[in-house]
Amino acid sequence: MKIAIGSDDAGYPLKENLKTFLLEQEDVEVEVHDLGVGEGETTHYPLIAAAVAEAVARGDFERGILVCGTGLGMAITANKIPGIRAATCHNVYSAERARKSNDAQVLTMGARVIGPESARTVLRAWLLSEFAGGRSAPKVAKITEIERKYLKALP
Ligand code: RB5
């Protein structure tokens, strides 16, 4: 699974921790590409959120992971990119549902909200869960339909 990961400076230590964790997975083969921010650098979170979300929307990566202080600014920004469904998850149930019900290809987390061990558990649940389809499929299709309606409305 090709994954793009990114953070702002507030999320940097957790991003690094999660990168290590991803590469330790034995039952799922992951290829992780870090789109920033680098050590000691500062950035505004929307820049990294857009870079990761655009890369996923283009199909360069199957999934994206974004970390900031709260996970919220990253999700708000990533969800502006057409085709992206980003979910902020700080518990395992939400992470599973984000995949199974919402087909969220982008996971966001807040380094000021969750500790690294819990974040790893949440990440693994999201990583191993797949979209269930079935009754969730028309609901996710509706999200795309609404998105297309407003894209068309743009000048
Ligand atoms: C810091 O800029 C903080 O606002 C950011 O990391 C994030 O929590 C925004 O949602």
Given a cut of 90, whether residue 143 has pLDDT beyond it is yes
Q: How confident is the model at residue 153 (pLDDT cuts 50, 70, 90)?
A: confident
- Out of 12, 14, 45, mutate this one to test ligand 1's pocket (max ligand atoms within 8 Å of CB): namely 45
- Out of 74, 76, 90, mutate this one to test ligand 1's pocket (max ligand atoms within 8 Å of CB): namely 74
How many angstroms from the chain centroid is the CA of residue 76? 11
For the segment 47-76, the average pLDDT, to the nearest whole number, is 98
Q: Is the CB of 108 under 6 A from ligand 1?
A: no
What is the structure's pLDDT at 152?
A: 83
Q: How confident is the model at residue 154 (pLDDT cuts 50, 70, 90)?
A: confident
Q: Tell me: the pLDDT tens digits for 87-111?
A: 999 999 999 999 999 999 999 999 9
What is the structure's pLDDT at 5?
A: 99
Q: Which CATH class is domain 2-153?
A: alpha beta
Rounded to whole angstroms, the Cα distance separating 109 from 88 reads: 6
Q: Enumerate the domain spans of the chain.
A: 2-153
**DSSP for residue 121:** H
Q: Is the CB of 45 under 6 A from ligand 1?
A: yes
Cβ 109 vs Cβ 88: under 8 Å:
yes
